[in-house]
Amino acid sequence: KQETSAPTQCVGPDYKPDRHKPTATVSTDVDFETVTVLPQTPQLIALLTKIRDVQTERGDFIFYSNRIIRLLVEEGLNHLPTVEHTVTTPVGRPYAGLMFQGKICGVSIMRAGEAMEQGLRDCCRSVRIGKILIQRDEESAQPKLFYDKLPEDIAERWVLLLDPMFATGGSAIMAVEVLKSRGVPEERILFLNLIASPQGIKNFATKFPRLRVVTAFVDQGLDEKNYIIPGLGDFGDRYYTI
């Protein structure tokens, strides 16, 4: 079992002095420039605390997970290309702004990744969604591919790959291999994820050095069953069934 120490830091905006900030465990540092970890704000830490709590019942688990998913999607969209775009306002003045360029699609790794689809739809109206069904074997933690259904023109799109849990990285690596086999270049894939392990990030970022990852938190490590620790347990079970 590999574990790194969990850093506890003052959490809060610059305008508050450290003595007025709460302390909490923050994301483990990772040294890959393709990996973006969401800012460790009191809001994000409080949302994550809710979904990590074994006492949190399903309705709250869904509600608070959805709020984090929204933050991930909003940050993920910052990684897409934009072009300059000037508009005229109702008072007749120009405003030099931006607009997104390029077609996108979401691809969820079923089942847990499907929980992230609505957050993407809420930000990107009528976005195309593809699915890849990969299940991790409960004993060996090895991923198995069962099914995929992807937009025909996926090779021309930016792909937001969706899966909340990133443990060994095996499932995400398998999903990326499916996408690459359909002609999607690594640099046009963005993997959005709630909780990652340092091992999963290392395996993935070493294998795909041009693929960007946006995660809310990098945890301490994995337990003997390859569950993320401290983690939140089985995301799919908590969101869909228990």
CA-CA distance, 144 to 36, in Å (whole number)? 27
Contact partner at residue 231 from ligand URA, ligand PRP, none, CB < 5 to 8 Å by partner kind: ligand URA
Q: Mask: binding to ligand PRP, 88-127, rule CB under 6 A, as x and -?
A: ---------------------x-xx---------------
Choose the one of ligand URA, ligand PRP, none that binds residue 109, judging by a C-beta under 5 to 8 angstroms depending on kind: ligand PRP
CA gap 158, 106 in Å, rounded: 8
Task: Say how far apart CA 102 and CA 90 lie, in whole Å.
Answer: 28
CA angle 14, 19, 22 (to 5 degrees): 80
- Indicate the residue type of 204: F
What track of x and - describes contact with ligand PRP for positions 213 through 232 (by CB under 6 A)? -------------x------
The site for ligand URA (CB under 6 A) is made up of 112, 165, 167, 227-228, 231, 234-236
DSSP class of 29: P
The region of 35-43, 86-94, 180-188, 234-242 touching ligand PRP under the rule CB under 6 A is 234-242
Nearer Cβ to ligand URA, position 11 or 228? 228
Convert 162-225 into a string of H (helix), E (strand) and C (coil). Answer: ECCEECCCHHHHHHHHHHHHCCCCHHHEEEEEEEECHHHHHHHHHHCCCCEEEEEEECCEECCC
Residues in contact with ligand PRP by the rule CB under 6 A: 109, 111-112, 135-136, 141, 143, 163-172, 200, 226, 234-236
